[in-house]
């Protein structure tokens, strides 16, 4: 769902704000390590109480890898491993309850298992738990709790929650409104290539919100978002370009190219902490500050 409005601001300045709320259910495609002849050995270990083997069987049944897809069997084995404290199983079990796969849909049970994994530091579970508090699913709506759990994941470098925190600080949801903190978290996510964060960051530099107004940096971030197909960013970028001299524009384009290279070639390849797990219940609380042109 996308909502946009156009307002003209004082001094003719254009302020872009976008709010998008999207619920996306995804399944991460991975390769299971327990196919073929290894299945019987894995089954034997699972029946003996080995948590990792139980998790592997749950994952195989969940994704139909090496065995016919069977959500009830997936739930059975995830539950065995989750009861032993396996965070991936707890997270996946939360997803099964959230989606009603192999069990009746039950948001309270989803919250229960997400919290178990989140308390062990699992970033995706922390993200999902924050979402449940934000959207009042299985718990009473509590923006402060959403912020608390998103911050834990954001501090682990999880770009989606960094974006969400930027939004919360920008709008004062669950925290006092703080544009500097919004810039801080948008910058973290933008540096990882998050298009909506790049767009919002460009908007904040354009309007001098939380930062000193800087058209060159506004162009840099909006152009990076535009290069990913973020349509509103294309319009913002082109408007900003009209305020730059040819030299400033050239410098901004060079800086954007340098940042894009850094995004595409990170100095350290960080291994994901959610290998072989279901992906987030929600791809993102996609809310970004919305386009604006208004008359005063």
Burial of 96 (0-12, 13-18, 19+ CB in 10 A): buried
Whole-model pTM?
0.80
Query: For residue 64, what are the contacts with CB-CB under 8 A and spacing of at least 6?
Result: 70
| Cα–Cα nearest to 71, from 110, 103, 44 | 103
What CA–CA distance (Å, rounded) separates 93 from 99? 10
What integer pLDDT is reported at residue 51 of this predicted model?
96
Q: Cβ distance 169 to 175 under 8 Å?
A: yes
What CA–CA distance (Å, rounded) separates 290 from 10? 17
In the structure encoding, which two tokens stand for residue 25, read together?
């259910």
In the structure encoding, which two tokens stand for residue 76, read together?
């059975």
Q: Cβ distance 244 to 215 under 8 Å?
A: yes
How is residue 9 annotated by DSSP?
P
Burial of 60 (0-12, 13-18, 19+ CB in 10 A): buried
What CA–CA distance (Å, rounded) separates 77 from 230? 41
Planar angle of CA 281, 285, 290, nearest 5 degrees: 160
Q: What is the domain class of 2-30+85-264 according to CATH?
A: mainly alpha
What integer pLDDT is reported at residue 282 of this predicted model?
52
Domain extents in the chain: 2-30+85-264
Instruction: Return averaged pLDDT per consecutive 10 residues of the chain, 296 residues in all.
Output: 26 38 34 59 92 95 93 98 97 97 98 98 97 97 98 96 97 98 98 96 97 98 95 94 96 97 78 56 45 26
What CA–CA distance (Å, rounded) separates 9 from 203? 14
Query: For residue 102, what are the contacts with CB-CB under 8 A and spacing of at least 6?
Result: 70, 71, 72, 73, 74, 75, 96
CA torsion 286-255-291-21 (nearest 10°) is: 0
Q: Cβ distance 86 to 54 under 8 Å?
A: yes
What CA–CA distance (Å, rounded) separates 44 from 53? 9
| Cα–Cα nearest to 167, from 283, 287, 284 | 287
What CA–CA distance (Å, rounded) separates 225 from 217? 12
What CA–CA distance (Å, rounded) separates 49 from 84? 9
What CA–CA distance (Å, rounded) separates 221 from 214? 11
If you search the block for the tokens 């609380």, which residue do you land on?
285
């Amino acid at each position: 769902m996308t909502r946009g409005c156009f307002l003209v601001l004082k001094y003719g300045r254009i302020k872009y704000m976008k709010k998008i709320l999207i619920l996306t259910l995804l399944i991460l495609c991975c390769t299971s390590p327990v196919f073929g002849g290894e299945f019987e050995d894995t089954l034997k270990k699972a029946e003996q109480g080995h948590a990792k083997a139980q998790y592997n069987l749950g994952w195989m049944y969940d994704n139909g890898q090496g065995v016919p897809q069977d959500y009830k069997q997936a739930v059975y084995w995830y539950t065995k491993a989750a009861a032993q404290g396996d965070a991936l199983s707890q997270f996946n079990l939360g997803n099964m309850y959230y989606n009603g796969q192999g069990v009746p849909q039950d948001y309270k049970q989803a919250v229960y298992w997400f919290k178990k994994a989140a308390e062990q530091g699992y970033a995706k579970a922390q993200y999902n738990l924050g979402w449940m508090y934000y959207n009042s699913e299985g718990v009473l709506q509590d923006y402060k709790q959403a912020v608390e759990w998103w911050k834990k994941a954001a501090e682990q470098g999880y770009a989606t929650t960094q974006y969400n925190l930027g939004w919360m600080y920008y709008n004062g949801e669950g925290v006092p409104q703080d544009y500097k903190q919004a810039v801080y978290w948008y910058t973290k996510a933008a540096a990882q290539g998050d298009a909506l964060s790049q767009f919002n960051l460009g908007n904040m530099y354009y309007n001098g919100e939380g930062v000193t107004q800087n058209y060159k940096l506004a162009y840099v971030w909006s152009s990076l978002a535009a290069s990913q197909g973020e349509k509103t960013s294309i319009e913002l970028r082109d408007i900003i370009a009209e305020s730059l001299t040819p030299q400033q524009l050239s410098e901004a384009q060079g800086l954007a190219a340098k940042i894009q290279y850094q995004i595409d070639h990170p100095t350290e390849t960080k291994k994901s902490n959610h290998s072989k797990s279901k992906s987030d219940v929600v791809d993102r609380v996609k809310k970004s500050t919305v386009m604006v042109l208004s008359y005063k």
